Amino acid sequence: MQANKVLIWLKNDLRVSDNPAFIYALKNNLTPIPVFIWAPSEEKPWEPGSATRLWLHNSLKALQDELQNLGLDLIYRLGPSQKALEELIGETKANLVIWNKRYEPALLERDKKIERALSKQVEVKIFNGSLLFDPEQIKNQQGTPFKVFTPFYKHLLTMVETEIVQNYPKQIQQFTKNLKLDFPKIKSLNLSQLELLEPNTAWQKKWQSKMLSYAQCGYGSGFDLLKNFTKKSAGEYKELRDRPDLVGTSRLASHLHFGEISPFQIWKTAQGHEAFTRQLIWREFAHYIMFHFPDSTVNNLKPEFDNFPWKANKKFLEAWKLGQTGYPIVDAGMRELWETGWMHNRTRMIVGSFLIKDLLIHWQEGAKWFWDTLFDADLANNSMGWQWVAGSGVDASPFFRIFNPMLQGAKFDPHGAYVRKWCPELAKLPDEWIHQPFDAPPLILQSAGVKLGDNYPFPLVNHDSARQEALAGLQLTKKS
């Protein structure tokens, strides 16, 4: 007897293990037909950025291999998503369509429409494959959404324990033994026909090939990363995670974002390393806030910040993007991002504070740049991170908490190794001046080969006076 066929509409769940949609199909002896549909315009206003496309291309390639080992093909189509799905239903005679949710506001809305439309002809099932808990499940005692992290965290901790004990592990291997697959012939585009890698200019092409060398995609490399991290670094995570000059973080963010690995798998594997697993709950919190406050990806959660006298200084913004602000720790971070598609979390906070509170540029500009250049660009995390730094979000850092780039540098990059790596023109400066070349005696600069205004820029602004200006601007938000 032929098994019934089920369309699995893949999104940011590019794995087979612990993937609720695949598990459902295999548990019920259905032949899964995995489909990926490229429809970037449906994600507006946050269409996939440049780094996202590169990672996605490679991640799909990795998944395709993984699926082929199971005897499955990955079908590629172009959007509109609804049309593509309806055509596939016709071609495959599938009577069930399933997918794992995405929580971005535009996609939640799109998928609701598609669910309504498809339900007229087939059964539709929707799972959560990317969060420990669906944001809809979680309410405080008053029945309203949590707005502060700590109570949210405590609330989730108890739920996570129960959930893991009851439902984990959900490895696909349990189900593949009895697979009797008869995968149908269906026409599909090639991955390259999706044109995820279509640079417009020569420099984009160069940027791409450089960036691709940093993109180790797929379930396998993600899981290796996790295992190594748990074995070697997780114990020191609490002490080292704030040190951009050392390797102290897991670097799992992009794997998690694209669903190459599930949050449960990470939780389970890293269990007991509280400082680390706590970060997973921050990710939950970010998605939770985005779900309950969908316009927080574009608007201040605290509306009084609309009154802040932001500056639209293109020159400053460009200098920030390229790592030419004259503040070494800021420039090192921005150059690391541009070069590798990743930036250390501590440096993300420093460059964010600098853009907002020293250059007085709106956090949306920073969010857009990160969105385009980060491999791990994730709408929930990105929006929460930037609103946190700006002080305009829920449970955010207060605006007046302004990072001093020299002190942050001295504290978290004490020997300047991080700065020396990404700003080689400063490499010969002694530790004492590495985070503030503009204060160094001329002779020291000279012997280190640093020529301010020539091979390294003068500071765009003076931190002390910029800070005063930011605090004055804060007063304006309190009026009216």
Nearer to DNA, 275 or 298 (CB): 275
Nearer to DNA, 78 or 246 (CB): 246
Least CB distance to DNA at residue 244 (A): 12
Find tokens 């590019």 and name the residue: 14
Nearer to DNA, 102 or 346 (CB): 346
Sequence-distant (6+) residues with CB within 8 A of 247 are 233, 240
Least CB distance to DNA at residue 457 (A): 21
Both tokens assigned to 340? 């590798």
Nearer to DNA, 125 or 467 (CB): 467
Least CB distance to DNA at residue 344 (A): 11
Nearer to DNA, 115 or 242 (CB): 242
Least CB distance to DNA at residue 465 (A): 11
User: 143: exposed, middle or buried (C-beta count within 10 Å: 0-12, 13-18, 19+)?
Assistant: exposed
Nearer to DNA, 396 or 426 (CB): 396
Sequence-distant (6+) residues with CB within 8 A of 100 are 11, 12, 13, 19, 20, 21, 126, 127, 128, 129, 130, 259
**Three-class secondary structure of residue 93 per DSSP:** coil
Distances (CA, A) of 363 to 185, 283, 316, 349, 351: 49, 19, 14, 12, 11
Least CB distance to DNA at residue 285 (A): 10
Least CB distance to DNA at residue 129 (A): 24
CB 55 within 8 A of CB 14: no
Least CB distance to DNA at residue 131 (A): 18
Both tokens assigned to 38? 């490229």
Instruction: Measure the CA–CA gap between 74 and 91, rounded to whole angstroms.
Output: 15
Both tokens assigned to 324? 């030419």
Residues at the site binding DNA, with contacts judged by CB under 7 A: 149, 242, 279, 282, 345-346, 349, 397-398, 400-404, 407-408, 411, 464, 467, 471, 474
Instruction: Measure the CA–CA gap between 315 and 167, rounded to whole angstroms.
Output: 53
Least CB distance to DNA at residue 391 (A): 11
Amino acid type, 151: P
Nearer to DNA, 62 or 410 (CB): 410
Q: How many C-beta atoms surround the C-beta of residue 91 within 10 A?
A: 14
Least CB distance to DNA at residue 364 (A): 21
| Pairing relationship of beta strands 31-38 and 5-10 according to DSSP bridges | parallel
Nearer to DNA, 117 or 148 (CB): 148
Least CB distance to DNA at residue 329 (A): 10
Nearer to DNA, 114 or 474 (CB): 474
Nearer to DNA, 157 or 471 (CB): 471
Q: How many C-beta atoms surround the C-beta of residue 4 within 10 A?
A: 14
Least CB distance to DNA at residue 402 (A): 6
Nearer to DNA, 311 or 411 (CB): 411
CB 419 within 8 A of CB 434: yes
Amino acid type, 430: P
DSSP 325-383: SS-HHHHHHHHHHHHHS---HHHHHHHHHIIIIIS---HHHHHHHHHHH-TT--HHHHH
